[in-house]
Chains A and B, each alone.
Chain A
């Protein structure tokens, strides 16, 4: 019993770390994905209001035309507040007269109230003034803020809007976030979803292929180099991984932009200066795959190098005395024994490439246009950083959630397909 407690005690830092850095973000992502949170809703609660801009779209909610009319025209009522304002801005006599004859009276339309104002003993003569004066008595809820739903509904009743439309209007007027599954419907409908998915698949497949093949090439070629040179080469190829991403991408910018290295060199041959990274989509893809590919290849190089070194030297000697040349040695002896490292790199890199977007963000930011916008970058742009300024946390979380599910599904697939148990079994040291 005590030893079990001790085990849990030793595990607890890992459990806590996994909970905070993995489980909690996933849970929050799931939660956000089912809300319509955005910059305009905020992440706290909201209030109830319909402003003049929204009047244009209120008709689309399906409420009756009469209610729309009522909201728009709102109606006019002679109240003490209105009269005080009138006395203040126009004439006290007009106000007094209006109070005597019409206090408490309502008018459905502005022109009715305007007619009254014209027909007073002491009328307001200018049309513009009459309009302004009439507005002082408007009893609309448009532009007004209500803290609770009850207050808003009461105001709706005062305006005389059909109670059948209250529910719809309350929802329409709510400025906070609500629970919804609309994000997923939207994801299914948006044409850009397909675009991002295709981009992501293209990016992952190309970068992965480059990673593995170039990593293998580096590992095998440095294996045959004398030790001193091999280490120098490995160190150089490891630079992309240990450089800070910002610095690394900055160097690519110097290399590819219209005043950069390629443009300068090609300029000597009469090629007009151009941005070799962003000019066209194929160029942008090439640069992105190279940027990510070199980072991944350096990891592959290290992993594959150590795997090659783990092959007993006698086995390589044996293949030499068996008559195998370098190429045959690579083809028949080294590569077949690299199966596990290659499978591991494939699965590990697929998962990390699916979710990583920092190099793309720094290099092309999804451009030109949105041609290099991958799924993870789309999630980031939607939720955390975009030109429109309305950050859609909920929709972004839905993007991210889809990625979480794809990642889990792929992990399970890899675990089954590649039989990781065998990979993790006791190592077979040289028999």
Chain B
């Protein structure tokens, strides 16, 4: 079901956390609310599910206005960061709880619980208690409990934050699979750009209570609207270098790169170069000294201090003979260079 926030404002006392925010999540879409901590993404989620009251604005599920409905009467399912499973209930009771409070008959609840347990693949764990489950299993139970009422909207609050790295990968694709299978409209709140990019159809990147860019993951990565967006997405992160845009981009001490074709401005700019766009495979152009090599198995991260000052990062396939202290002269994929003005806006 389509979800629409209009002019959403949230204040805590005198502090305005979110002001006049608009957001539309299309039916069946999975939307990420991404941003650093304190940006207001969890506040938005709590307002959507009805735990926090909205200070201003409207919220629509489909065409119906649910702004003033209490959480109990909104059709939302929420997976909390710590899963918030009820410790005194079995898995079956946990999953069936939303139906139990609706006074559904026991046999119907049982049937629904089994359907959901099959969906999240925990059919054999129904008699256990949450304390007897691994993190990933608890996650699946929380997901099943959130989905059993067939809610209009599924809200996921940092669902992978408490899992170890391997489980996180597994649950990432699991959540996406379940969302696709059920076709439910979902909002994922996360501070992890990898999660947001890998799981969601679109990303709303938030900063200080505002959405700074709303786009597909590819667009947001390749075509960021500001320096903040470019810096937030990508791991290892993008490198920013001050440069002078004339006929060429000059970086001091005679180091220059060709102008990217799309760049129209001239003068002082900030140039963003992603690690994969800097390396020997792109020819030559920037000279410097390797200051750090971090092997990551399949790849190596390399930090380079340019002769004219400034740090730039590169990522290379493992096995490249690069050592700390080595002098290098590597090229840049000029067409992928991002340029920003002094105020951080994309040029």
Q: Complex formed: what's the CA distance from A312 to B85 in Å?
A: 10
Q: Complex formed: what's the CA distance from A312 to B162 in Å?
A: 16
Interface size on B, residues (CB 8 A): 31
Stretch at the interface among A64-72, A104-112, A114-122, A319-327: A319-327
The listed residue (B50, B88, B130) touching A321 by CB distance below 8 A is B50
The listed residue (A318, A428, A430) touching B78 by CB distance below 8 A is A318
Interface contact B72-A431, CB-CB below 8 Å? no
For residue B337, CB closer than 8 A to chain A, the reply is: no
With CB as the reference atom, state the residue of chain A lying closest to B79: A318
Residues of B within 8 A of A337 (CB): 87-88
Cβ proximity bits A400-431 to B, threshold 8 Å, 1 near / 0 not: 00000000000000000000000000001011
Residues of A within 8 A of B97 (CB): 319, 322, 324, 332
With CB as the reference atom, state the residue of chain A lying closest to B74: A321
For residue B296, CB closer than 8 A to chain A, the reply is: no
For residue B248, CB closer than 8 A to chain A, the reply is: no
For residue B347, CB closer than 8 A to chain A, the reply is: no
Interface contact B101-A317, CB-CB below 8 Å? no
Interface contact B51-A317, CB-CB below 8 Å? yes
Q: A320-B72, A323-B101, A325-B72 are in contact. Are A314 and B81 (CB under 8 A)?
A: yes
In chain A between 327 and 344, which residues have their CB closer than 8 angstroms to a CB of chain B?
328, 332-333, 336-337, 339
For residue A197, CB closer than 8 A to chain B, the reply is: no
Interface contact B80-A318, CB-CB below 8 Å? yes
For residue A315, CB closer than 8 A to chain B, the reply is: yes
For residue B228, CB closer than 8 A to chain A, the reply is: no
Q: A317-B78, A317-B80, A332-B97 are in contact. Are A323 and B86 (CB under 8 A)?
A: no
Interface contact A321-B71, CB-CB below 8 Å? yes
Interface contact A324-B87, CB-CB below 8 Å? no
Q: Complex formed: what's the CA distance from A73 to B156 in Å?
A: 106
Interface contact B131-A428, CB-CB below 8 Å? yes
Q: Complex formed: what's the CA distance from A294 to B212 in Å?
A: 57
Residues of A within 8 A of B102 (CB): 323
Interface contact B84-A318, CB-CB below 8 Å? yes
With CB as the reference atom, state the residue of chain B lying closest to A316: B84
Residues of A within 8 A of B149 (CB): 322-323
Q: Complex formed: what's the CA distance from A430 to B81 in Å?
A: 12
In chain B between 82 and 116, which residues have their CB closer than 8 angstroms to a CB of chain A?
82, 84-89, 97-98, 100-102
For residue B315, CB closer than 8 A to chain A, the reply is: no
Q: Complex formed: what's the CA distance from A427 to B50 in Å?
A: 32
Interface contact B72-A333, CB-CB below 8 Å? no
Q: Complex formed: what's the CA distance from A120 to B104 in Å?
A: 118
Interface contact A333-B84, CB-CB below 8 Å? no
Q: Complex formed: what's the CA distance from A431 to B73 in Å?
A: 29
For residue B77, CB closer than 8 A to chain A, the reply is: yes
Q: Complex formed: what's the CA distance from A317 to B74 in Å?
A: 13
Interface contact A325-B82, CB-CB below 8 Å? no
Which of B74, B82, B131, B149 has the most A CB atoms < 10 Å from its CB? B82
Residues of B within 8 A of A324 (CB): 72, 97, 101
For residue B41, CB closer than 8 A to chain A, the reply is: no
With CB as the reference atom, state the residue of chain B lying closest to A428: B131
* Minimal beta-carbon separation of B325 from chain A (angstroms): 47
Residues of A within 8 A of B206 (CB): none
In chain B between 46 and 70, which residues have their CB closer than 8 angstroms to a CB of chain A?
46, 49-51, 70
Residues of B within 8 A of A333 (CB): 86
Q: Complex formed: what's the CA distance from A314 to B49 in Å?
A: 13
The listed residue (B80, B87, B100) touching A314 by CB distance below 8 A is B80
With CB as the reference atom, state the residue of chain B lying closest to A326: B72
Which of A315, A323, A328 has the most B CB atoms < 10 Å from its CB? A323
Interface contact A315-B71, CB-CB below 8 Å? no
The listed residue (B73, B88, B98, B138) touching A322 by CB distance below 8 A is B98
Residues of A within 8 A of B51 (CB): 317, 320-321
The listed residue (A325, A339, A431) touching B131 by CB distance below 8 A is A431
Interface contact B101-A322, CB-CB below 8 Å? yes
Residues of B within 8 A of A328 (CB): 101
* Minimal beta-carbon separation of B163 from chain A (angstroms): 12
Q: Complex formed: what's the CA distance from A332 to B86 in Å?
A: 9
Interface contact B131-A320, CB-CB below 8 Å? no
Q: Complex formed: what's the CA distance from A70 to B145 in Å?
A: 97
Q: A322-B101, A328-B101, A428-B131 are in contact. Are A315 and B72 (CB under 8 A)?
A: no
With CB as the reference atom, state the residue of chain A lying closest to B72: A323
* Minimal beta-carbon separation of B336 from chain A (angstroms): 42
Residues of B within 8 A of A336 (CB): 86, 88-89
In chain B between 248 and 302, which residues have their CB closer than 8 angstroms to a CB of chain A?
none
Q: A323-B72, A324-B72, A336-B88 are in contact. Are A314 and B101 (CB under 8 A)?
A: no
For residue B32, CB closer than 8 A to chain A, the reply is: no
Residues of A within 8 A of B101 (CB): 322-325, 328, 332
Q: Complex formed: what's the CA distance from A178 to B181 in Å?
A: 90
Q: Complex formed: what's the CA distance from A328 to B102 in Å?
A: 10
With CB as the reference atom, state the residue of chain A lying closest to B51: A317
Residues of A within 8 A of B76 (CB): 321
Interface contact B72-A312, CB-CB below 8 Å? no
Q: A332-B101, A336-B88 are in contact. Are A431 and B78 (CB under 8 A)?
A: no
Residues of A within 8 A of B70 (CB): 320
Interface contact B84-A315, CB-CB below 8 Å? yes
With CB as the reference atom, state the residue of chain B lying closest to A327: B101
With CB as the reference atom, state the residue of chain B lying closest to A430: B82
With CB as the reference atom, state the residue of chain B lying closest to A335: B88
* Minimal beta-carbon separation of A311 from chain B (angstroms): 9
Q: Complex formed: what's the CA distance from A63 to B132 in Å?
A: 79
The listed residue (A321, A332, A430, A431) touching B49 by CB distance below 8 A is A321
Q: Complex formed: what's the CA distance from A255 to B242 in Å?
A: 83
With CB as the reference atom, state the residue of chain B lying closest to A331: B101
Which of B86, B98, B138 has the most A CB atoms < 10 Å from its CB? B86
Q: Complex formed: what's the CA distance from A320 to B101 in Å?
A: 10
* Minimal beta-carbon separation of B226 from chain A (angstroms): 33
* Minimal beta-carbon separation of B46 from chain A (angstroms): 8
20 sampled A-B residue pairs with Cβ under 8 A: A312-B84, A314-B84, A315-B84, A317-B46, A317-B51, A318-B78, A318-B80, A318-B84, A319-B86, A321-B50, A321-B72, A321-B76, A321-B78, A322-B97, A322-B101, A322-B149, A324-B97, A328-B101, A337-B88, A428-B87
Please give me the 6 A-B residue pairs with the lowest Cβ-Cβ distance, nearest first: A318-B84, A314-B84, A322-B98, A320-B71, A336-B88, A324-B101
Enumerate chain A interface residues (CB-CB to B < 8 A).
312, 314-315, 317-325, 328, 332-333, 336-337, 339, 428, 430-431
Q: Known contacts A314-B80, A328-B101, A430-B82; can you find 9 more A-B pairs with CB under 8 A?
A: A312-B84, A314-B84, A315-B86, A318-B80, A321-B50, A321-B78, A323-B72, A323-B73, A431-B138
